[in-house]
A and B are shown apart, each in its own frame.
Chain A
């Protein structure tokens, strides 16, 4: 079940300092240890949180992964990647203001 392995990878990337560093240094090398399809590895490598959630990954993990490792950590961009637009993107929240 890929959802489970995706969650295992994202959980490690959210909480384990050494995993975060390995991913920063060599994303493909880090992901090689998980029996994921090429497409699933791409979702992780490209921070495609929408695809990850569509695959069943817990949103708490996608958010933690994004906040820990995505290039700009913008929560506005995070919501865009989930498909938000217009008013939904601009809805006032402290989390979004940070982004």
Chain B
């Protein structure tokens, strides 16, 4: 039987790649050190597959088609953007497990949109290249990594409770597998950040700390109780990405979190939180 052996929250801030020297050295050390620790912790979980929950930034999907939730079930490549520090190329997927998540969902009230040939963006590639690939080096083997994209950047947004339910469905699909899959799920997202609005550059440390505390407590009910208008007003349109955190937490059984790092980084226009989700810890 497959199982979810752990999860993480981590950011995918592209500004840290285009302006790496903008914050103080101590801040840079905190953030890059957090990615390294996440990689070590991921390897220690001895996973066979990783699932990254990302979100489109109105690049992959256009106004002609805006999926609420979509999973890459076939060939993968990317990232689509040319960002310093990220390499483009083919990515190893676990097509069997991705297909199982889709078919299990269809039988249980979750009608997945599927991407059979998919190019990922930085919300997948930053966790993949700075955490999954270093973990592969430690383990000496490939870690196929399934992309899931939730509507966080473009309305209509997936409702927060639905994101958590989707995480639970992913867990149920993994557990329905006869294979001894050990799956780690990564919720990829920044906390407070304003993207393209007049407030861009602000960070709300109070909101960020609130979210991190809910993660540590494993309080999924409170995490999914936020109203979208409140999130946008307090923490910006980018903070809608906490949907990815809710999905990851919903996938990890009886999750409780352990904060790895937090940094409010206005130079990188985002509140950056790193957290590990431990299963069955309550």
Q: Residues on A close to B: CB < 8 A?
A: 4, 7-8, 11-12, 14-15, 53, 58-64, 79, 82-84, 88, 91-98
Contact = CB atoms under 8 A, between A and B. Distances in A.
Contacts of A11: 58, 62-63
B198 A84 contact: yes
16 contacts: A4-B63, A11-B63, A58-B153, A60-B57, A60-B153, A60-B195, A60-B196, A61-B196, A79-B198, A82-B197, A83-B198, A91-B202, A94-B15, A94-B18, A97-B22, A98-B18
Interface residues of B, number: 26
A83 B197 CA distance: 10
* 10 closest residue pairs by CB, A with B: A94-B19, A59-B196, A63-B196, A93-B201, A94-B22, A82-B198, A11-B62, A60-B58, A91-B201, A7-B63
Nearest to A61: B58
Contacts of A79: 198, 200
Say what secondary structure dominates the interface of chain B.
loop
B192 to A, nearest CB: 13
A interface: dominant SS: helix
A91 B266 contact: yes
Interface string B176-210: 00000000000000000001111111100000000
Given A8-B63, A79-B198, A93 B267 contact: yes
A94 B17 CA distance: 10
Contacts, number: 78
A73 to B, nearest CB: 13
Given A64-B58, A95-B19, 13 more contacts: A7-B63, A8-B63, A11-B58, A14-B59, A15-B62, A60-B57, A60-B195, A61-B196, A93-B200, A93-B266, A97-B19, A97-B22, A98-B18
B200 A94 contact: no
B22 to A, nearest CB: 4
A59 B195 contact: yes
B255 interface: no
Contacts of B268: 93-94
Contacts of A4: 63
B125 interface: no
B62 A92 contact: no
Contacts of A93: 15, 22, 200-201, 266-269
B68 interface: no
Contacts of B18: 94, 98
Most A C-beta atoms less than 10 A away, residue of B57, B58, B195, B202:
B58
Interface string B51-70: 00000011100111000000
Contacts of B19: 94-95, 97-98
